[in-house]
Amino acid sequence: MSLMNTLLQSADVDAAKAMYSKMGAAIGAGLAAIGAGIGIGRIGGSAMESIARQPEALGDIRSNMIVAAALVEGAVFFAIVVCLLILFV
Amino acid sequence: MPDFTSTSAIKTKLKFILLLAFCAFFRHSAVANHEEATHSDTTKHESSVAHTGGSKSHEGAEKPIGDQISNMILGHIGDNHDWDAFGHHIILPLPVILYTKSKGLEFFMSSHFEHGHAEYKGYKLINSGAKIVWADGNKIESIYDFSLTKVAVTLLLGSLIIILIFLSVAKAYRKRVGKAPRGFQNLIESLILFIRDSVIKSSVGPRYKEFMPLLLSIFWFIFIINLMGQIPFFPGGANATGNIAIPLVLATTIFLYVTVNGNKSFWKHILLPDVPYALYILIVPIEILGFFLRPFVLMLRLFANITAGHIIILGFFSLIFIFGSMQTWIGIAVSPASVAFTIFMGMLELLVCFLQAFVFTLLSSLYIGMAIEDHGHHKPEKAHTH
């Protein structure tokens, strides 16, 4: 924390703030990608298992899997948009 | 539509795939011209693939490559008062329609602005064509901008395309009454029936016919506009659904439909849910928040998916220039991988175009279905004697 205090008291406070905010945005985008990966991976995994159990339900399972993946991606894209706002606005 | 069922089906399919790959390359060269002034040696590689002419000289000091690329990407996904069709050589001026309290309604073509270098009638263009402000920086009166910008023209063109598609399909139905559908009519009909049966009928419920025009229109509108955004040259190439205004209007339409059509049990579930009274303080705010949040997330999902797709494709391609700015040979070495990635992401984007339209329609029909759902809370009828 003392490092951050020193930085915030220095002359180029704006540069430090910009640096930290960009780092935060980048880490946020990475975390959002992890969230997407975990979420959609679980959806895909359980879809695979249920297709293996019941191959005749392939069509239903496939469409439900795609819908659920799109919903999870919606939440992830919310995080991405926040990170983009930090970086570019 | 090309005929995929004839004996030369293989050749037709190959031509189609080559055309798609060609379009992907053209997207690269269209962007390449933008950067040519500062990277003429790396773009020689690109222009040998897709034959483009001349170089455009950039004015002003040479900015670092990161700034140039972020300006390029933001310019491509943003709105614009000119339409730079086909690689910044052919720039179409678009009508500018402004209303201000002091000057009233003004109408002129954006070519008067000369791509941001000239002032006209007291207005000037900033943000490389995106915004019109007063030339006199001190004036703070607001300008109401009703211009036909790139996105607005894309909307009109997309609507025209949809009207043409459906008029031709309707004509085909009239001509072939009772017979099996063929050709283009078959394609459109299969999509319409797919959306009607698996999305609208199952989600909206028994009263689906009242909302079918709305939901089908929303699906086709989003699908066609998304597809137009993937085409790199003139009638397409504008990131229309990636402009937050358009998903906003679509989501607001759904919100109004849900609010106006919500029946008593719908409002009862939100405001007076069937839980012990102590839980009201927890559940009612969550339900009210959810009521507003669902259309908002609907808008955000469509906007972010399409914009992120455009940024990814442009970014993969800009890798060539970023690496090339360090050493030219690194840029050339990265080119095959970058182009391959861009083509792959382009194919994925085509799937995303359809998928986002599908998911928007599915969720809209689910929300409308929830609003008009009749749970059957009928009181038993008293027996009456005649």
pLDDT digits (tens, 9 = 90+) for B17-73: 655 555 444 444 444 334 333 333 333 333 333 333 333 334 446 778 888 888 888
Q: Which tokens in the block code for residue A83?
A: 């990170």
8 A C-beta contact, residue B211 and residue B204: yes
Q: Which has more pLDDT, B196 or B89?
A: B196
Q: Which has more pLDDT, B296 or A5?
A: B296
Tell me the whole-structure pTM to 2 decimals.
0.78
Cβ separation A77–B356 shorter than 8 A = no
Contacts of A65 (CB under 8 A, 6+ apart): A43, A44, A47
Cβ separation B301–A80 shorter than 8 A = no
Averaged over B339-344, what is the pLDDT? 90
8 A C-beta contact, residue B135 and residue B122: yes
pLDDT, tens digit (0-9, with 9 covering 90-100), for B109-126:
888 877 777 777 878 788
For the ranges B128-142, B168-182, B230-244, the lowest mean pLDDT is seen at: B128-142
Averaged over A52-81, what is the pLDDT? 88
Cβ neighbour number for residue B340 with a 10 Å cutoff: 11
For the ranges A4-8, B145-149, B217-221, B250-254, the lowest mean pLDDT is seen at: A4-8
Contacts of A77 in chain B (CB under 8 A): 300-301, 304-305, 308
Averaged over B331-338, what is the pLDDT? 89
**Residues A88, B296, A66: CA angle, nearest 5 degrees:** 95
Q: How far apart are CA A78 and CA B9, in angstroms?
A: 43
**Residues B234, B235, B240: CA angle, nearest 5 degrees:** 110
- B380 pLDDT exceeds 80? no
Contacts of B355 in chain A (CB under 8 A): 66, 70
Model ipTM? 0.74
8 A C-beta contact, residue B129 and residue B101: no
Q: How many domains does chain A have?
A: 1
Q: Which has more pLDDT, A25 or B1?
A: A25
Of B70, B198, B301, the CB nearest to A74: B301
Q: Which tokens in the block code for residue B290?
A: 């959810």
Which helix (H) or strand (E) segment is B286 a member of? helix B280-326
Composition of chain A by helix, strand, coil, percent to 5: 95, 0, 5
Percent of chain B with pLDDT over 90: 24
Question: Is B130 part of the contact surface with chain A (CB cutoff 8 Å)?
Answer: no
pLDDT, tens digit (0-9, with 9 covering 90-100), for A38-63:
999 999 999 999 999 999 999 889 88
The confidence score (pLDDT) of residue B8 equals: 57
- How many angstroms away from the CA of B8 is the closest CA of chain A? 31
- Distances from the Cα of B380 to the Cαs of B351, B373, B386, in angstroms? 50, 19, 18
Please give the residue of chain A at the shortest CA–CA distance from B298: A74
Q: How far apart are CA B153 and CA B128, in angstroms?
A: 18
Q: Identify from A43, A64, A71, A73 which residue to disrupt to test chain B contact, counting B C-beta atoms within 10 A and taking the largest count.
A: A73
Chain B residues 268-307 with CB within 8 Å of chain A: 297, 300-301, 303-305
The confidence score (pLDDT) of residue B135 equals: 80
Averaged over B2-24, what is the pLDDT? 55
- Distances from the Cα of B129 to the Cαs of B76, B78, B232, in angstroms? 11, 10, 19
Q: How far apart are CA B260 and CA B241, in angstroms?
A: 26
Contacts of A71 in chain B (CB under 8 A): 359
Q: Which tokens in the block code for residue B4?
A: 């995929």
Q: How far apart are CA A74 and CA B306, in angstroms?
A: 12
Tally of residues, chain A: 89
Closest to B68 measured CA to CA, from B100, B35, B41, B39: B35
The CATH number for A54's domain is 1.20.20.10
Closest to B305 measured CA to CA, from B386, B188, B226, B192: B226
- Name the β-bridge partners of B108: B96
Domain span at A14 = 2-88
Contacts of B219 (CB under 8 A, 6+ apart): B195, B199, B357, B358, B360, B361
The confidence score (pLDDT) of residue B26 equals: 44
Q: Identify from B311, B362, B365 which residue to disrupt to test chain A contact, counting A C-beta atoms within 10 A and taking the largest count.
A: B362
pLDDT, tens digit (0-9, with 9 covering 90-100), for A21-32:
999 999 999 999
- Name the β-bridge partners of B90: B85
Cβ separation B300–A66 shorter than 8 A = no
Averaged over B101-115, what is the pLDDT? 81
For the ranges A4-8, B86-90, B178-182, B304-308, the lowest mean pLDDT is seen at: A4-8
Domain boundaries, chain B: 80-147, 151-372
Residues of chain A contacting B, Cβ within 8 Å: 63, 66-67, 70-71, 73-75, 77-78, 80-81, 88
Q: Which tokens in the block code for residue B140?
A: 């703070």
Cβ separation A70–B356 shorter than 8 A = yes
- The mean of the pLDDT values for chain B is 80
Q: How far apart are CA B211 and CA B254, in angstroms?
A: 11
The confidence score (pLDDT) of residue B5 equals: 52
